[in-house]
Amino acid sequence: MIFAHAVADVRAAEAALMAQLPEGALMQRAASGLAAVCARVLRGEFGDGLRSGGHRRRRGGPYGARVVLLVGGGDNGGDALWAGARLARRGARVDAVILRHDRVHGTGLAALKDAGGTVVSGDDGPMTTATAAAIRRADLIIDGILGIGGRGGLRPDAAELAEFAASASAHVVAVDLPSGIDVDTGEISGAHVRADTTVTFGTHKVGLFVDPAAAVAGDIELVDIGLGPYLPAPALQVLEFADVARMFPEPDRNADKYRRGVLGLLAGSAQYRGAAVLAAGGAVHGGSGMLRFAGPDAVAADVLRRWPETVVSAEAAEAGRVQAWAVGSGLGEGREHEVAAVLSAGVPVLVDADGLRKLPPQLASPALLTPHAGELARMLDAQRSDVEARRLHYVRQAARRWNATVLLKGSTTLVAEPDGPVRVNPTGSPALATAGSGDVLAGLGGSLLAAGLTTFDAGSVAAFVHGMAGHVAAELSGYPSASDILEALPGVLAELRRPANR
C-alpha cells in the first residue's frame, strides 16, 4: 500500500527526525535524491510525461546538459540549489533564477556558485533576457519555487516564470510538489507549475494523487529521507496489486453458494435494459455465490439470456434471502418503494445512479454509495464543477452526511468513510469513461459486499479491478465499450487470484 500524509504530519515528523540529526542533514538527503532522479531524467529514463509533444529528449546524462533552477524563498528553493550544485559538479551547466534575493537559501546558493553554477535573474525581478534564453535552451527545469510552505496559487512574478517554463521544451521536475497546487486537497486555485516528474520527500503528499492537482504532477518519485518511523496514520491510501490480491474473499473448503454470499440486484428498466445485463455481469464474476435479480419480465429475460445462472423475480420483496443488495443502476423512476425497502432490509447495500436520488437522511445498514460528480453534486446541492474541483472535500462531506462509505467516480476515484483515511484508486483511465461502465462497477462492488468484504474494501477493490479491466480492454479494442470491460474482468480476476499473487 502506498500512503500520503497531510502537511502538518510531515512537518511534525520532520521536526522529530531533525532533532536527531545534524543541521542540514535532511536537506542533503532530499537534494541527493532529487539530483539522482534528475540525472536519470537526463539519461532519458523517464517518459515524456504529461507535457509530451515538444520535448527535447536528452540521453547523455548530466555532463553537458543545460539545467535551469527556479528558486523560491524557502527550503524548496534550497533543495533545488543543492541538487543544482550536485549536477553542476557532474558537468551540467546550471543557471539559477532567483525569485527572492532577500530570502534565498544562502548556503544552497553558495554551494551552487562554488560548483560553477550561475544566477541569471536580476536584482529587480526573475525574468531577464538571460533568464528567457536559459529557459529556452534548457534540457531540464527544476521547479523549486514552492513546496509544502506554499499558500494559494503562484504570485504574479512566479506565475509569469512558470508560464514561460511551460512553453519551453525542457523536462520539468517539480521539487516535492508542482509549485502552486494545494498540497493537502489536490485543489488548484491559481497559477501553478506543470511537471513531467515530481520528486517528493519522506512520504507522498495528498495533492499528488487527487485531481485536478494530480494531473499536473507527472510521474511521482518518492525519496526516502527517513521520516517513516515518525509519521502517523496517513490521510490517503493507494492500494497496490498485492494488497488487492490479498483482499479477495477465499471460498473455504466446505463453501456452498449461500455461504459464499448471495447478491440481490435491483437494476435496469424498460428504458435502460442493458444496465441490468452489465451490472449482472459484474456481479456474477465478483466473488459471491449467487445472483438474485429483481425486475420486470422483459429486463429479467435479457439478464437470463446473457447470464442463465441468475435467479429472477419480479420484485425485490420476492427475491428471497440475500447477504447484500446492489440497487439503482439504470433503474429509472417508479421503483422508489422497492429501493426504500432494500435500504431498510438490514444487509449491506451498494447504491448507484437512480438509487441515489432519494436517499433517506439516515441509512439503516452499511452502505456503499457510488455517485459520479454530477450525482454527488445533486445529493449535496452543489455544482458539478465544484465537486470536480474539490473532490476530496465533497467525498468526505458525503461520507459524514450519510454515515456511509462513498465512492466518488471520475478521473480520480476516491473512496471515503466518515472517518479515517481516504483511498484513491490508481488504476483508473479515461477508457472507463464509456456508457454502462459504472453499471459493471456496481455489480462487481455489490458482489464483493455479498461475499463479505466491508463497504470500504468492496468499493476500493471493485474500482481497482474495474480500472485494470479497462486497461486490458483498451489494449484489445482501442476504445473499449462497457461490454469489452466486462469481458476483460475474468482475466484480470484470474491474474489477481493466482496463488502466487496472494
Ligand X SMILES: NC(=O)C1=CN([C@@H]2O[C@H](COP(=O)(O)OP(=O)(O)OC[C@H]3O[C@@H](n4cnc5c(N)ncnc54)[C@H](OP(=O)(O)O)[C@@H]3O)[C@@H](O)[C@H]2O)[C@@H](O)CC1
Look at residue 143 and give the partner it binds from ligand ADP, K ion, ligand X, none, a contact being a CB closer than 5 to 8 Å depending on partner kind. Answer: K ion
d(CA 207, CA 103): 26
Strands 414-416 and 219-223: unpaired
SS3 23: coil
With CB atoms as reference, the residue minimizing the distance to ligand ADP is 438
**What's the full length of the chain, in residues?**
502
SS3 364: coil
Q: Is 225 annotated as a binding residue?
A: no
439 belongs to the binding site for ligand ADP (CB under 6 A): yes
- DSSP H helical ranges for 307-436: 336-343, 373-380, 384-389, 391-402
Residue 145 C-beta: closest distance to K ion, Å: 6
Q: Is 423 annotated as a binding residue?
A: no
481 belongs to the binding site for ligand ADP (CB under 6 A): no
Find the binder of ligand ADP among 105, 192, 273, 409 (CB under 6 A): 409
Find the binder of ligand X among 4, 6, 13, 30 (CB under 6 A): 30
Q: Is 176 annotated as a binding residue?
A: yes
Look at residue 497 and give the partner it binds from ligand ADP, K ion, ligand X, none, a contact being a CB closer than 5 to 8 Å depending on partner kind. Answer: none
d(CA 73, CA 95): 16
- Residues 221-260 within binding reach of ligand X (CB under 6 A): 225
For residue 95, list its beta bridge partners: 68, 118
Which one of the spans 26-34, 307-315, 455-463, 471-479 is the region binding ligand X (CB under 6 A)? 26-34
Of 365 and 411, the one with the shorter C-beta distance to ligand ADP is 411
Look at residue 113 and give the partner it binds from K ion, ligand ADP, ligand X, none, a contact being a CB closer than 5 to 8 Å depending on partner kind. Answer: none
- Residues 366-405 vs ligand ADP: string with x where CB under 6 A? ------x---------------------------------
356 belongs to the binding site for ligand ADP (CB under 6 A): no
- Residues 126-145 vs K ion: string with x where CB under 5 A? -----------------x--
Amino acid present at 301? A
Of 26 and 343, the one with the shorter C-beta distance to ligand X is 26
**Are 277 and 249 in contact, with CB atoms under 8 Å apart?**
no
Find the binder of K ion among 121, 131, 179, 269 (CB under 5 A): 179
435 belongs to the binding site for ligand ADP (CB under 6 A): yes
DSSP count for the chain of H helices, then E strands: 16, 19
Query: In which region does residue 357 sit, left (phi positive, over 0), alpha (psi from -120 to 50) or beta (all else)?
Result: alpha
d(CA 467, CA 471): 6
Look at residue 436 and give the partner it binds from ligand X, ligand ADP, K ion, none, a contact being a CB closer than 5 to 8 Å depending on partner kind. Answer: ligand ADP
- Residues 145-174 vs K ion: string with x where CB under 5 A? -----------------------------x
Q: Is 149 annotated as a binding residue?
A: yes
**Residue of 23, 155, 59, 170 lying closest to 100 (CA atoms):** 155
d(CA 307, CA 303): 6
76 belongs to the binding site for ligand X (CB under 6 A): yes
Catalogue the E-assigned strands of 195-333: 197-201, 204-205, 219-223, 236-238, 262-266, 290-294, 311-313, 324-327
For residue 333, what are the contacts with CB-CB under 8 A and spacing of at least 6?
354
Q: Is 457 annotated as a binding residue?
A: no
C-alpha grid cell, residue 163: 508560464
269 belongs to the binding site for ligand ADP (CB under 6 A): no
**308 φ, ψ to 5°?**
-65, -15
Q: Is 128 annotated as a binding residue?
A: no
Find the binder of ligand ADP among 64, 116, 430, 490 (CB under 6 A): 430
Which one of the spans 125-133, 176-184, 423-431, 446-454 is the region binding ligand ADP (CB under 6 A)? 423-431
352 belongs to the binding site for K ion (CB under 5 A): no
Of 212 and 295, the one with the shorter C-beta distance to ligand X is 212
Which one of the spans 142-150, 262-270, 341-349, 422-430 is the region binding ligand X (CB under 6 A)? 142-150
For residue 231, what are the contacts with CB-CB under 8 A and spacing of at least 6?
3, 5, 9, 10, 13, 202, 203
SS3 423: strand
**230 φ, ψ to 5°?**
-100, 0
Cα–Cα distances (Å) from 25 to 33, 188, 231, in that order, read: 13, 32, 18
SS3 337: helix
**70 φ, ψ to 5°?**
-100, 115
Give the interface with ligand X as residue ranges (CB under 6 A). 14, 18, 26-27, 30, 72-77, 79, 103, 146-152, 154-155, 158, 175-176, 201, 225
Q: Which residues are annotated as a binding site?
A: 75-79, 143, 147-153, 176, 179, 275, 330, 372, 409-413, 438-439
Give the interface with ligand ADP as residue ranges (CB under 6 A). 353, 372, 409-411, 413, 428-430, 432-433, 435-439, 441, 466
Q: Which residues are annotated as a binding site for AMP?
A: 409-413, 438
Q: Which residues are annotated as a binding site for K(+)?
A: 76, 143, 179
